[in-house]
Amino acid sequence: MKVGLIADIHSNAEAIISVLGRLGDVEEIWCLGDIVGYGPDPARCIDLVRERRHVCVIGNHDLCVLNAIDVSEFNAEAIESCLWNRDHLSGERLAFLRSLPATAEPAPGVILVHGSPRKGIWEYVLSSWQADEILSETDASMIFVGHSHIPLAFMKPGEAPVEYIHLADGQVLELNKKGVRYLINPGSVGQPRDGDPRASYMIFDTESYQVEFHRIAYPVETTQEKMLLAGLPTSLSDRLKAGI
Ligand code: ZN
């Protein structure tokens, strides 16, 4: 089965529409949390994910919109956009967000989680030592995470230390090597932070264990205009153009 792997949509309809268009007829969408928060189209983004066959876990911004976490770790702009997103969602869509699990295992040995298996929604997995510790604590063959908005891949061959794999647009990884396990972040659809403003996503083949990494340009100015019209913080719309 071919699966579209997406994370951190952040209410950016233009970005998710572009990604879903490119994903075409993949059989399922696996979403790693933070459908909402920051951007101007929370309802549309939830509806677009729900239109497809999907497996989705919850992120910290989804929980913020549900008023279900302590926001002391959020900055002022994140809180402001969280409250705006909350005010623009129906009870039925909020119920959908509330129904999302913290983790999912959509295929044997494959874990989906927003931050990390050990710290749920909060851990930014950015370093080899973190990936090594996390992979050492689980038998999972593949862990897909979001949260950092940075596309990354780490491989752990047996008991050997984790190795970092650089990802470039169009890259194909063959991950079916015996005894090798992986931790992978497909990057962010709606608010990339690696200096490349293009939406980020992956395609995962659950049989061959092949992963393709892609970037796609989307009409970022349209999203920015909507944010300004909505009165969302300008720092949040500015960062989309820079990919930071
Ligand atoms: Zn996020």
Question: What distance in angstroms lies between residue 147's CA and the mean position of ligand 1's atoms?
Answer: 5
pLDDT at 120: 92
Question: What distance in angstroms lies between residue 213's CA and the mean position of ligand 1's atoms?
Answer: 19
Mapping DSSP to helix (H, G, I), strand (E, B) and coil, where does residue 199 land?
strand
Q: Is the pTM of this model over 0.95?
A: yes
Question: What distance in angstroms lies between residue 172's CA and the mean position of ligand 1's atoms?
Answer: 25
Question: What distance in angstroms lies between residue 78's CA and the mean position of ligand 1's atoms?
Answer: 10
2-242 has CATH 3.40.50.11540 classification:
no
Q: Are 26 and 57 in contact (CB under 8 A)?
A: no
- pLDDT tens, position by position, 132-167: 999 999 999 999 999 999 999 999 999 999 999 989
pLDDT at 188: 98
Question: What distance in angstroms lies between residue 64's CA and the mean position of ligand 1's atoms?
Answer: 11
User: How would you class 43 by CB atoms within 10 Å of its CB: exposed for 0-12, middle for 13-18, buried for 19 or more?
Assistant: middle
- pLDDT tens, position by position, 162-189: 999 989 999 999 998 899 999 999 999 9
Question: What distance in angstroms lies between residue 169's CA and the mean position of ligand 1's atoms?
Answer: 21
pLDDT at 75: 94
Angle between helices 220-230 and 13-23 (to 10 degrees): 150
- pLDDT tens, position by position, 105-119: 999 999 999 999 999
- pLDDT tens, position by position, 38-79: 999 999 999 999 999 999 999 999 999 999 998 888 999 999
DSSP state of 198: S
Report the C-alpha gap between 142 and 110 in whole angstroms: 5
pLDDT at 72: 85
Strand partners for 155: 163, 182
Question: What distance in angstroms lies between residue 171's CA and the mean position of ligand 1's atoms?
Answer: 23
Domain residue limits, the chain = 2-242
Question: What distance in angstroms lies between residue 39's CA and the mean position of ligand 1's atoms?
Answer: 11
Report the C-alpha gap between 57 and 229 in whole angstroms: 30
Question: What distance in angstroms lies between residue 158's CA and the mean position of ligand 1's atoms?
Answer: 31
Strand partners for 209: none
Q: Are 49 and 76 in contact (CB under 8 A)?
A: no
Inform me whether the pLDDT recorded for 10 exceeds 90.
Answer: yes
Q: Are 173 and 156 in contact (CB under 8 A)?
A: no
Query: 71 or 26: which carries more pLDDT confidence?
Result: 26
Question: What distance in angstroms lies between residue 109's CA and the mean position of ligand 1's atoms?
Answer: 24
**Four-point Cα dihedral 175, 176, 178, 180, nearest 10:** 20
User: How would you class 50 by CB atoms within 10 Å of its CB: exposed for 0-12, middle for 13-18, buried for 19 or more?
Assistant: middle
Question: What distance in angstroms lies between residue 69's CA and the mean position of ligand 1's atoms?
Answer: 15
Question: What distance in angstroms lies between residue 149's CA and the mean position of ligand 1's atoms?
Answer: 6
- pLDDT tens, position by position, 206-220: 999 999 999 999 999
Question: What distance in angstroms lies between residue 183's CA and the mean position of ligand 1's atoms?
Answer: 17
Task: Give residues with Cβ within 8 angstroms of 176, minimum separation 6.
Answer: 208, 209, 210
Q: Which of 81, 96, 99, 91 minimizes the C-alpha distance to 41?
A: 81
Question: What distance in angstroms lies between residue 33's CA and the mean position of ligand 1's atoms?
Answer: 7
The CB-side HSE value for 138 (13 A sphere, CA atoms) comes to 22
